[in-house]
Chains A and B, each alone.
Chain A
């Protein structure tokens, strides 16, 4: 089974900061990776699919990159509305696996 490992598990940054979250797969998954945002008390929302394609309506300050085993989610300029936990998920095989999440807070 593929394991997805995110780092860091949490971070605190100031408004306007560039934030970087990484996701590592235990084996190569090509570009079959999605990122989700889950705000407190809310349902997860799809942010990015195919490692780097923004889902409809997602602000352009979010971007994704990577292929194979190493992936990155970047928030170019952190906003108060971005306080949330972010999860990666692979869909490389018939199975899907989530990372354990990265909690993003604003200082």
Chain B
């Protein structure tokens, strides 16, 4: 089983739609969780951290389910500019806190 698994997509959604991505992780001792966005041929950029209680940033909502070991990202009112690959990132415990990236879910928002 991969340490971090994501559906690669692509998710093709019309403008204004709501779309949700899930990500599962295998290490129950994982401590921190993030969503990054990566545009084509660009570096990943931090979208948001994921907190145990869930958190929202504008149209984006992130949720963490420790019991089932998954995190989710919900995008409401999709914009063309949301088209990108969304990377799930899990950070472990311990002195180094190993960071593991998922392979990403591709989103294409269609006019």
Bound pair (A, B):
no
